[in-house]
């Protein structure tokens, strides 16, 4: 049986970066640049006023009380028509171009209009460059303003618009198909009958995939019938990643591996030395030339197992397909906030929450009262997973353990 580390290496070896896509700014949000972006303009395009006030010659105002003739008024979007000379000033608004001759702007709050196109400056002397933003101070024509690999947040989207890039090449991101399997499943809107449960894994995987930056499509519930299961999986294989929940253990109706084999999916591994999540199945299916293979994950049916396997293997694969290193969620060391009894030989990823320090120096983590891989409610209280290794033992409060964060991205 593979270790977690060995299984992850096998997954990442099959996860080849997808080709970049050209997208509009709306779709680019949250993606990573696949090309450098060069400015086609200077910004600002001219020396401009940073405040409402009066453009003056600094050396023409030796002290407070200087009176000047006002030549004209310039608002944003208009250009000056007269140069400022000794004894004169120009009324100017924020963002408007600085008139020739002026080298400072005095705030309007520091002036007193006298009528008859004259103004008195109440403070002085101004310094050269005061309240002025020089041409190209922000960026210059021909300057690379965003590098390859940059994650596009709201600020970067605004900058792309400023430099005339309504669309841009970004790293590709995977299309993920999600299938929940089992005769016992009903949709969330239905009331379960005898022997039935609601399908929680489908929506859980949908949320996880979207959170990881993928496009996700739910293909519904596949019943425990070989023909129906193959039909669902065949439709899913057109995607970059297929996530199936349930049907990969050793039960009579665990039909997923057989259905995958019948559709030409090559098994890479089945079962990992892990708790919860041991039954994990992974394989690939080749596609047409130039496309990376489809990655197929057969995830265990219990919801906590599903989440743990997603975080350990699927999230890193989605990152690698998106051109990232594939490191997944961040890990750190933390001290146990209370005593914990570990049972079993398999490494266990136990739902926990930060009790202090939150991943920094002196961090503390508290294992939750988790009832096993079907206990989704306790998982909602967790913001991390504490990792415990065998054999059976009691870990004392204060002992250092490894922690996998659930509420912070590595990207």
Domain coordinates of the chain in residue numbers? 4-19+172-321, 21-43+137-170, 48-133, 331-405
Question: Do 94 and 49 form a contact (C-beta atoms < 8 A)?
Answer: yes
Residue 337: the pLDDT is 95
In three-state secondary structure terms, 256 is helix
Residues 6+ apart with CB under 8 A from 310: 205, 208, 243, 299
Instruction: Classify residue 357 as exposed, middle or buried by CB count within 10 Å of its CB (0-12, 13-18, 19+).
Output: middle
CA atoms within 13 A on the CB side of 294: 26
Residue 359: the pLDDT is 67
For the domain with range 331-405, which CATH number is right: 3.40.50.720, 3.40.50.11780, 1.20.1250.20, 2.40.340.10? 2.40.340.10
Residue 411: the pLDDT is 38
- CATH superfamily membership of 4-19+172-321: MoaB/Mog-like domain (3.40.980.10)
DSSP assignment of 277-342, as one string? -TT-EEEEE--STTSPPEEEEEE-SSHHHHHHHIIIIIHHHHHHHTTS----S-EEEEEESS-EEE
Q: CATH assignment of 21-43+137-170?
A: 3.90.105.10
CA distance 93 to 296: 61
Q: Tens-of-pLDDT digits for all 411 residues of the chain?
A: 999 999 999 999 999 999 999 999 999 999 999 999 999 999 999 999 999 999 999 999 999 999 999 999 999 899 999 999 999 999 999 999 999 999 999 999 999 999 889 999 999 899 999 999 999 999 999 999 999 999 999 999 999 999 999 999 999 999 999 999 999 999 999 999 999 999 999 999 999 999 999 999 999 999 988 898 999 999 999 999 999 998 776 554 578 888 999 999 999 999 999 999 999 999 999 998 878 999 999 999 999 999 999 999 999 999 999 999 999 999 999 999 999 999 999 999 999 999 987 767 789 999 999 999 999 999 999 999 999 998 999 999 999 999 999 976 543
Return the exposure string of 377-390: e unless at least 16 CB atoms fall within 10 Å of the residue's CB, then b.
eebeebbbbbbbee
Same fold, 21-43+137-170 and 48-133: no
Question: Do 70 and 26 form a contact (C-beta atoms < 8 A)?
Answer: no
Class of domain 48-133: mainly beta
């Amino acid at each position: 049986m593979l270790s977690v580390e060995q299984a992850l290496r096998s997954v990442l070896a099959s996860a080849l970066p997808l080709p970049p896509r050209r997208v509009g700014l709306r779709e680019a949000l949250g993606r990573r640049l696949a090309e450098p972006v060069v400015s086609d303009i200077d910004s600002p395009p001219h020396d401009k006023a940073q405040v409402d006030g009066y453009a003056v010659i600094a050396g023409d105002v030796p002290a407070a009380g200087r009176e000047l003739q006002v030549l004209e008024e310039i608002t944003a979007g208009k250009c000056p028509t007269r140069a400022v000379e000794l004894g004169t000033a120009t009324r100017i608004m924020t963002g408007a171009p600085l008139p020739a001759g002026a080298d400072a702007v005095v705030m309007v709050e520091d002036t007193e209009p006298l009528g008859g196109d004259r103004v008195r400056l109440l403070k002085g002397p101004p310094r050269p460059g005061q309240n002025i933003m020089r041409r190209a101070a922000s960026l210059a024509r021909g300057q690379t303003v965003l590098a390859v690999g940059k994650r596009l947040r709201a600020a970067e989207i605004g900058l792309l618009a400023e430099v005339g890039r309504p669309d841009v090449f970004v790293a590709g991101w995977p299309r993920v198909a999600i299938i929940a399997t089992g005769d016992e499943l009903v949709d969330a809107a239905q009331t379960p009958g005898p022997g039935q449960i609601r399908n929680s894994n489908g929506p859980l995987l949908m949320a996880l995939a979207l959170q990881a930056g993928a496009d996700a499509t739910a293909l519904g519930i596949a019943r425990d019938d070989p023909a129906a299961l193959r039909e669902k999986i065949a439709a899913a294989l057109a995607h970059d990643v297929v996530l199936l929940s349930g049907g990969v253990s050793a039960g009579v109706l665990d039909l997923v591996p057989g259905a995958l084999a019948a559709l030409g999916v090559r098994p890479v591994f089945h079962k990992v030395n892990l708790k919860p999540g041991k039954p994990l199945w992974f394989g690939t299916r080749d596609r047409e030339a130039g496309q990376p293979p489809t990655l197929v994950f057969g995830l265990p049916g219990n919801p906590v197992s599903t989440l743990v396997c997603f975080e350990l293997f699927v999230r890193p694969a989605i990152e690698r397909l998106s051109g990232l290193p594939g490191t997944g969620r961040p890990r750190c060391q933390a001290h146990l906030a209370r005593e914990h009894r570990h049972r079993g030989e398999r490494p266990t990823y136990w739902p926990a929450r930060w009790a202090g320090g939150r991943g920094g120096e002196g961090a503390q983590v508290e294992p939750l009262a988790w009832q096993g891989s079907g206990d989704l409610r306790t998982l909602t209280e967790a913001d991390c997973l504490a990792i415990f290794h065998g054999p059976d033992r009691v870990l004392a409060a204060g002992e250092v353990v490894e922690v996998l964060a659930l509420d912070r991205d590595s990207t």
